[in-house]
Structure 1
Amino acid sequence: MEQLLQEELHGNQATKRATLKAIRDMISRSQISKSQKKEFDRILENSPSSELLDIIGSKEVIDAIEGVQAKKYDHIIALKDTHVADFITLDGKKWEMKLDTFVDSDEKDHQLNGTYISVYHAKQDFLNKVGKMNSYVDRALELDEGTSNLISDIDSISEKQADKKFRYRFIEIPHDTTPYLRAVVDNERYKLYDNTLVLALAFLSLHNYCKSNKTMFEVSYLKVTDSKFILYAYEKTQRKISNNVYLNVGIQISNSEISDGSIKFNFTYRVSNGENSFKVISDPIITAAHGWSTTRINEELSKLSTFTNASNDIINGIKNINLNKKLDDEHLFTIFEKFLHVGRSPLNTVTRERIVELRETTANNTISLMELFSKIDDISEKAAIDARTYIESQINKLIRMLIAHSNS
C-alpha cells in the first residue's frame, strides 16, 4: 500500500533557517511521552531560543514534518485479546488483514475494542511473531484456498501462547474513518521515537557540529511520511579535489517509527565538475537504537567527529582517482554489473530498463567515469527513494574499489 500521508521537499523549496524556539515548539506539540519531553527540555535548557540553526531549509523541514502528523498510539496487547477476522486487498495487489482487538472492561482506553486494517508490514509483523506464518498465509491466499481454515490455524497457534504480548502501533488519519494497524513490535525493548523527536535531536547535533567547525549545511531533499522520514543535507562549502572537480560532503538522516530498527546517520557526498555531477552514500557513521533513552541517543548523535574523519578520508581518496579518464569496455562491463546483476535490489523494471539502455548507448562510445556516474545519477533522480539510495551505495562501492586499487 502507498503511504497514508507523505510529503516531499527539494532543495529549491528549502531556503529558511529555523530557530531553537521552533524546535522547542515542535516538541511541545508532538505526541511523544512526557518523560521524553522532559529529557529534551534538559538538553536545550541553556540554549537561547532566538538562535538560528546553521541549517538552511530547516524551517521548511519542520513545517513539512508537522504537516503529515496523524493520531498515533501504542498499546501492549496479549494475543488472547486479538483475533484475525479476515484478509482483504486494499489496492488489488497486496493482502492485508483485519484484526479485532479486545480490552477488558477495566482498561482506560475503550477505543481499542474494534477492528483495525493492517498497513505497511503490520500483517507480516503480526503473523511472523505469532508463528512465522506470513509466507504460508500469502501462498494460501494466492491459491484462493479460503480464509476460514487460515484463521483457524492462526487462532490455534495463538492459543498456545495466549499471554504473549506485543506492542501494537495504531494510526488514525484525518478525514479517514478507518483505523489502521501500522506495526507490531517487541514489547520489552522498543520505545516510540516519533519523527519530530528524531528530527529535533538530529538538527541539534548537526547545528552543534556546524558551530564547532564554522560551517553551514543546506537541506537538499526530504521525504516524510506518517511513519518514516529520510533527509539529505550537504555542507554549503565545496571542497576542491582537482582543477575542475569539487566535492560537497553531507549527511543522510533516516528514521522509521514502525520497525525494531534504529536512527541512522549516513555519510554522503556530491561530486561535480560544472558539467556533470553525481551523489554517493556510504554505510552509517552513527546509529542509535530505538531502545535507548532520549539522553543516550542525543549523546550518540553528538559524536559527529566521525563525520570529519569520513570527509577527510573520501577527499584524500578521490584525489587519487582520475574521474576524467575514458572507460574501456572492460571497465564499463564491471560498472554495469554492479547495478544490474545482484541477487536482490530495489530497482523496479523501469529503472532497470533505463540502466540497460544506458549500457547499450555507451558500449560503442568513449565516456569518462565522471560522465557515466552523472548519467546514472540522472536515472536515480527519477527513481523511488529506496532505489536512489541503492544506486548511490553501489557508486560508493565502485569508488572504494578504485581508491583501493590506486593505493595498491
Structure 2
Amino acid sequence: MSREIDKKFLVDYFFVSDSKMEIFFLEDTPTKIDKDVSIRTGIHISNSEIADGAAVFEMTYKISSGNKKITFLSDDIAKVNHGYNPKTISEGLENIANFNIMRKDIINAVKAINWSSTISDKVLYELISLVGHLGNNIPKKVRDKMKSELNAIKTAKKTTNLLEVFNKLGQVVDEESSEIQLIMESKFAEYVDKLK
C-alpha cells in the first residue's frame, strides 16, 4: 500500500488490552486540498475478542489547517471474523488492495468542500440536529457539551468555517473514551459525505 501511493505511514495511535487492540496508521506527510487545508489518510485497525469478535479495517482521514484538526472514520475496508476459515480470511484481506482507490475518492470528495468559507445557518442547524439525534450510545453530557458549542457559535454570529466547527466538536469528543471518539468520527464522516 505504501509503495502504491509513494508515501510512508506512521502509527498515529495505538492501544492494546487483554481483549482489544486498536491502531491508527496515517500518512506521514499531508496532501494539500485547499490553500491552507490538508488531509492525511490512513487505516484504523481494531481487533476485539469480546465486542466484535473480528478484526476490522476502516478508512480514516484527518483534515487540518494550522492548529485546527478533525479526524473522520469512513468506510470499512475489510472485516475478518475470528471464526472464519483461512480462505475466507484471505479473501477478506484482499479488499485492503482497494485502499488507494478509496483514498483518491476521499481526497476528491473533501476537495469539493469549501472548508475555509463561513458556514451557513443551514449547515449549523444540520449539525445541531445531528448532535441532537445521536441517541443513547453517546452520553448526555457529551451531547449537551457539543450542543452548547454549536449554540455558542450560532449566538455569537461570528464568521466560523466548517473546519473550526468540527475542531470544536472534536475537542469535546477527544476528552471521551476511544469508543465515543470512534462513533463521533464515523458520524462526522457521514455528514461530510452528504456535503459532497
What's the TM-score, normalizing by structure 2? 0.90
Shift of 1:375: 0.9
Q: Distance in 1 between matches of 2:52 and 2:188?
A: 28
- Contact map agreement 1:264 1:288 (CA 8 A) in 2: yes
- The residue aligned with 1:362 is 153
Q: Which amino acid aligns with 1:324?
A: S
1:378 to 156, 171, 183: 171
1:314 aligns with 2:106: yes
State whether structure 2 residue 60 is matched by structure 1 residue 268: yes
Q: Shift in Å at residue 320 of structure 1?
A: 1.2
**Amino acid aligned to 1:331:** V
Deviating more after overlay: 349-358 vs 371-380: 349-358
Bigger RCO of structures 1 and 2 (CA < 8 A, at least 6 apart): 2
- Give the aligned residue type for 1:347: I
The one-letter amino acid of 1:317's match is A
Task: Give the % identical residues.
Answer: 28
Secondary structure of the residue aligned to 1:323 is coil
Q: Contact 1:345/1:390 (CA < 8 Å) preserved in 2? A: no
Instruction: Detail structure 1 runs of 4+ shifted over 4 Å in the superposition.
Output: none
Q: 1:228·1:254 contact (CA, 8 Å) conserved in 2?
A: yes
Deviation of the 1:281 alpha carbon: 0.6
Is residue 174–residue 181 contact of structure 2 (8 Å, CA) maintained in 1? yes
Aligned to 2:181: 388
Contact 1:286/1:300 (CA < 8 Å) preserved in 2? yes
Distance 1:299 1:330 in 2: 43
1:236-247 mapped onto 2 (5 Å cutoff): 236-247=28-39
Q: CA RMSD in A?
A: 1.9
Structural mapping, 1:2-401, within 5 Å: 209-259=1-51, 261-294=53-86, 296-298=88-90, 300-342=92-134, 344-364=135-155, 365=157, 366-401=159-194
Corresponding position of 1:113? none
Q: Unaligned regions of 5+ residues in structure 1, if any? A: 1-208, 404-408
Alpha-carbon distance in structure 2 between the residues aligned to 1:259 and 1:294:
22
Deviations 1:357-391 (A, max 9, x none): 20221112231101001111111111111110111
TM-aligned CA deviation for residue 298 of structure 1: 4.5
Gaps of 5+ in 2: none
| Superposed CA offset, 1:90-117 (max 9, x none) | xxxxxxxxxxxxxxxxxxxxxxxxxxxx
**C-alpha deviations, 1:23-53, integer Å up to 9, x for none?**
xxxxxxxxxxxxxxxxxxxxxxxxxxxxxxx
Q: Which amino acid aligns with 1:374?
A: N
Give the match for residue 116 of structure 1.
Answer: none
Q: Give secondary structure in 1 for the equivalent of 2:160.
A: coil
The 8 Å contact of residues 260 and 290 in structure 1, kept in 2 or not, is answered as: no
Aligned partners of 1:339 and 1:394 also within 8 Å: no
Q: How many residues align?
A: 194
Distance (Å, rounded) in 2 between the aligned partners of 1:324 and 1:259: 39
Check 1:392–1:259 CA distance in 2 against 1; reply closer, same or farther (3 A cut).
closer
Query: Structure 1 residue 311: deviation in Å?
Result: 0.6
| Structure 1 counterpart of 2:195, one-letter code | L
| TM-aligned CA deviation for residue 237 of structure 1 | 2.3
Q: Distance in 1 between matches of 2:175 and 2:22?
A: 17
Q: Distance in 2 between matches of 1:376 and 1:361?
A: 12
Larger radius of gyration: 1
* Cα shift at 1:280: 0.4
**One-letter amino acid of the counterpart of residue 59, structure 2:** F
- 8 Å Cα contact 1:339-1:391 kept in structure 2: no
Check the 8 A contact 1:265/1:286 in 2, yes or no: yes
Contact 1:215 1:235 in 2 (8 A): yes
3-state DSSP of counterpart to 1:243: coil
What residue in structure 2 maps to residue 117 of structure 1?
A: none
Structure 1 distance, partners of 2:66, 2:128, is: 24
Cα gap change, 1:259 to 1:375, in 2 (>3 Å): closer
1:316 positional shift: 0.8
What's the CA shift for 1:227? 0.7
Q: Give the Cα separation in 2 of the matches to 1:260 and 1:246.
A: 33
